[in-house]
Amino acid sequence: MFSPKTNKITSQQPLSETKKMSEIKNVWEMTNIQFGFIVYEKCYQTNEMRTYFSLEDNPILGDRYREGKRHWTRVENAQSFRFDLKNINTGEVVKFDDLMGLMFCSGCLPDCELAVLQKKYEAERSMLIVAFGFFPQALTDPIPKSKLDILSDYFNQRRNHNRSKIIVASSTPIEDISRCRGDFLHDVDMLSQEPPPKERKQIF
């Protein structure tokens, strides 16, 4: 559950009171963790935006360069990390290098398809988390649902499903990301909530 004292989502029950890991077929753990930055770049000639993960120590804001007919400007950095998930029972590793970030859906736009889902899940004591891929690739090649289901399993494997659960959904239904006011996740376990700013800086 989400604890306002620690600002974290915590396991509902000790593992011994739910299921032992050895009794669960698919048990996931984070692996190949790398810390870095999500870099946002914009071409003001075409108004295009793109994002990517960088291992630079401190990417320089305002950095400009030309790539073909486009002139890219680095407009924002966000400290982050990337990871894969490993099934500790089978050894399978699922790569998540296409995952830019995760966000709590706040249901801020009543006409948004995800807000409708969030309201439905909230009534079922479930929490909707939205997965974003890197732009512009995610617009035409979103993160597959099979991988989002694995993320859901990762979050839920220590939770008491009789009390609440987490559902990870694609950001594809969001028509205008600049209007979205969701709260982004930020810690190594992706289980902490960063307090939302009064007004999120518009990047897209």
Mean pLDDT, to the nearest integer, of 195-199?
Answer: 41
User: Is residue 171 within 8 Å of 104, Cβ to Cβ?
Assistant: no
**Which residue in the block uniquely carries the two structure tokens 């993160």?**
143
Indicate if the pLDDT at residue 55 is higher than 60. Answer: yes
Distance, in Å, from the CA atom of 204 to the CA atom of 200, rounded to the nearest integer, reads: 11
Q: Tell me which of 87-91, 167-171, 174-178 is least confident.
A: 174-178
99 φ, ψ (degrees, to nearest 5): -95, 115
What would the DSSP string read from start to end of 47-59? TEEEEEEE--SSP
Would you place residue 72 in the very low, low, confident or very high pLDDT band (cuts 50, 70, 90)? very high
What is the C-alpha separation between 136 and 100, in angstroms, rounded?
11
pLDDT, mean of residues 160-176 = 82
Output the pLDDT for position 135: 92
The DSSP annotation for 23-68 comes to G-S--EEEEEEEEEEEEEEEETTTTEEEEEEE--SSPPTT-EEEET
Between 22-31, 105-114, 169-178, 189-198, the lowest mean confidence (pLDDT) is in 189-198
Of 195, 135, 123, give the one whose Cα is nearest residue 171.
135
pLDDT for 176: 75
Predicted confidence at residue 188, as pLDDT, reads 39
DSSP per-residue codes, 139-150: HHSPPPHHHHHH
Residue 28: pLDDT over 60: yes
